[in-house]
Amino acid sequence: MSVDFAALKALHATAGDRHILELFQQDEDRASRFSAIADGLLFDYSKTNMDDSALAALMALLEVAGVAEKREAMFSGQKINDTEGRAVLHTALRNLDGGEVLVDGKDVIAGVRHTLARMDDFADRVRRGSISAYSGAPFEDVVNIGIGGSDLGPVMAYEALKPYEDGPRCHFVSNVDGAHINDVLKGLNPQTTLVIVASKTFTTIETMTNAKAARDWLVKAVGEEGISKHFAALSTAKDKTAAFGIDPDLVFGFEDWVGGRYSVWGPIGLSLMLAIGPQKFAEFLRGAQAMDTHFRTAEWQDNLPVLLALVGIWHNQVCGYATRAVLPYEQRLVRLPAYLQQLEMESNGKGVAMDGTDLPFNSGPVVWGEPGTNGQHAFYQLIHQGTRVVPCEFLVGRFGHEKGLEHMHELLVSNCLAQSEALLRGRSLDEARAIMAAKGFEGAELERQARHRVFPGNRPSTTLAYEKLTPFVLGQIVALYEHRVFVEGVILGINSFDQWGVELGKELALALQPVLAGEADGAGKDGSTLQLVQYLQTKTA
Is there a contact between 471 and 280 (Cβ–Cβ < 8 Å)?
yes
* Alpha-carbon distances of 2 from 5, 354, 357, 491, rounded to whole Å: 10, 10, 11, 8
Q: Is 230 a catalytic residue?
A: no
Of residues 103, 69, 15, the one with CA closest to residue 318:
15
Nearer to ligand F6P, 184 or 234 (CB): 234
Q: Is 70 a catalytic residue?
A: no
User: Taking the complex as a whole, how short is the minimal distance between the CB of residue 259 and ligand F6P, in angstroms?
Assistant: 7
Compute the half-sphere exposure of residue 60: CA atoms within 13 Å on the CB side of its CA: 13
Contact string (CB under 6 A) for ligand F6P, positions 161-200, x = contact: --------------------------------------xx
Region 129-158 residues binding ligand F6P, contact defined as CB under 6 A: 147-150
Is 261 a residue that touches ligand F6P (CB under 6 A)?
yes
Give the one residue of 191, 201, 323, 385 binding ligand F6P; rule: CB under 6 A.
201
User: Taking the complex as a whole, how short is the minimal distance between the CB of residue 287 and ligand F6P, in angstroms?
Assistant: 22
SS3 for 351? coil
Q: Is 346 a catalytic residue?
A: yes
Give the one residue of 91, 115, 207, 363 binding ligand F6P; rule: CB under 6 A.
207
Is 91 a residue that touches ligand F6P (CB under 6 A)?
no
SS3 for 366? strand
Nearer to ligand F6P, 164 or 172 (CB): 172
Is 271 a residue that touches ligand F6P (CB under 6 A)?
no
Give the active site residue among 28, 186, 225, 377: 377
Is there a contact between 511 and 322 (Cβ–Cβ < 8 Å)?
no
Of residues 402, 362, 92, 444, the one with CA closest to residue 254:
92
Is 459 a residue that touches ligand F6P (CB under 6 A)?
no
What is the bridge-based pairing of β-strands 251-253 and 323-329? unpaired
Give the one residue of 260, 328, 369, 475 binding ligand F6P; rule: CB under 6 A.
260
Give the active site residue among 346, 370, 482, 488: 346
Contact string (CB under 6 A) for ligand F6P, positions 305-344, x = contact: ----------------------------------------
Segment 1-9 long-range contacts (CB within 8 Å, at least 24 positions apart): 1/64, 2/353, 2/360, 2/493, 3/61, 3/64, 3/65, 3/491, 3/492, 3/493, 4/64, 5/317, 5/318, 5/361, 7/57, 8/54, 8/57, 8/58, 8/61, 8/314, 8/317, 8/318, 9/318
User: Taking the complex as a whole, how short is the minimal distance between the CB of residue 201 and ligand F6P, in angstroms?
Assistant: 3
| Omega before 373 within 30 of 0, i.e. cis | yes
Could you list the active site residues?
A: 346, 377, 506
Q: Return residues touching ligand F6P (CB under 6 A).
A: 147-150, 199-201, 204, 207, 260-261, 346, 499, 502
